[in-house]
Amino acid sequence: MSIGHTLLGLLESGPRHGYDLKRVYDERFGQDRPLHYGQVYATLSRLLRNGLVEESGVEPGGGPDRKRYAITNAGVTDVAAWLGRAEKPDLYLQSTLYTKVVLALLTRRSAAEVLDTQRAEHLQAMRTFTARKRTGDLADQLVCDHALFHLEADLRWLELTAARLDDLAKQVLP
């Protein structure tokens, strides 16, 4: 995910300070991976340097004064272009899991155990996301569905690979 573009999109509704941007980001997108304050301010600094945001005032606070940031016309154009670009699908052609399976075969360890261990981990993750989906709002349900569909595809790959382990062993072993 592009944190910069996400912050720019959040600024389209009006100027905000870094603390508020972090709060809104975490509520909407960061439930599993909240932003660190350092990420917010480093990103805002880069956006400011690139002319995509500008300082729009200072708010006094309980601690240091808070700078407010506003999106510029160039920032609006940049967000629009980003939203209009399709994301390249994540392809796992050289995944860590595939590497582990082949290395297990090459080192005469049990590739089936590698697959079984991973299957158990995937099933546990699916149970967690399914439970979370039941209690979440629509946005959280959609995030959970996305994760569940990916986990399901991974499980299909695990089953297919398990069924082909003997053939794979013949190809990778000397």
Query: Mind listing the pLDDT tens digit for each residue in 87-135?
Result: 776 666 557 788 889 888 888 889 999 999 999 999 999 999 999 999 9
Question: What's the pTM?
Answer: 0.68
The mean pLDDT value of the chain amounts to 89
> What integer pLDDT is reported at residue 30 of this predicted model?
79
Mean pLDDT of 17-46: 90
> What integer pLDDT is reported at residue 97 of this predicted model?
84
Please name the fold of domain 3-84. Arc Repressor Mutant, subunit A (1.10.10)
Q: Are 129 and 148 in contact (CB under 8 A)?
A: yes
Q: What's the rounded Cα separation, in Å, for the pair 106 and 70?
A: 56
Mean pLDDT of 62-66: 74
